[in-house]
Structure 1
């Protein structure tokens, strides 16, 4: 099937809403998970839910949210993306805040819909790194446990150069006690793409993985004592994991590639990690 494929493969009927924390209470917050978390990164998705529940906030998820159609827009089918945008407006406008862990969904809601498709969503839209930081500053997340790990933060293209979200993830990571941050040679605006975007993994997964391998070895020059790579993009998680398998260093081939929630979860609950 082509990347545009059958519309039914991307869209669903929104058959219901799942309330979290207090089912009897209505929530103004919608957690929009995105396709990669729903379909592929299930344990990583559970960490996102775990952190939000630890904060005590009430939030909803859609039990059949479907795709935001960013890949469809990227593939050039603007008419199909516009049709989907009209549907999204009807559902999302019922909320005051939409939180998503997917930078592609974030960009779709925040930029593509208003600037390219003429849809101005009513709710505020935040990436999870921004929302987690807000919760921490409001005293709703307590970083109790040390996380004795050496990590590198990877700036994804969608979250970084396309959405200019650089500081919030770093500030959030700095709140985790015990963390040792390795800075790659190129970061923020100069960060090197991992190969996971632009639909490249869909058309040439082997090439996408090799781009990630080169990035880690030649551009980032990750040290062998690195414990984990943290990023705010599910597509980057998947592709960096694929690329790590081809690293020259056997030790780094099994390096952990995790999202922001997995890192926070280690500090918010459980025992001291690492060391």
Structure 2
């Protein structure tokens, strides 16, 4: 029987990137399962998220928001590659990281995630999402951060939209946890509209997998499929009975899915 140390050495390094208003804490069920299976797992808090002490007003750009992830990839030893997983808005953070460090990403995985292409500004999929009106924002609070409008609009999901559209298949305990730990965030659409498309040589060169959450009421399946049609990937996987927070409602299925991806691409 292999020792725990040798099992860890044989596993992949999987980096799990949270969505808007959440933090690395949201991956606790999946991270536990992947580590038990011998993988090395990182769950960074992006700026002004989770336990990161930075206030949102000091995070003016999407790159500033993603900096903890970029720092993690930059710190990797030469030759090490990771499986990079982005949930929801975390998909665009994964795309930016893949653009900057394509040689360090074995595969970019989008879990019901916003997935930009490399011919449009990274805001394109967010703009299409809002235009499509597939999500009733209900009691989500959108507020300007400054009178001049120089900072991105802030966003915080309210209890109604959280329960109905994000956590509808999660346990009451997970809903309570999520509501307790959510922080004010942003979609950074204003900044992302100013950015050039990611490149074919960078982000475009990285292998990609999309994981469709079939019962997602936030980024609905139809929009997930549209993103895949807009920017075809190497592989599409599905999780039946998964709401937007599959990392909480279907952790065992998601962990197995990610372990399979790691085995294939790492």
Bin the TM-score by the shorter chain.
Answer: 0.3 to 0.5
- Give the structure-2-normalised TM-score: 0.37
Where relative contact order (Cα < 8 A, 6+ residues apart) is larger, the structure is 2
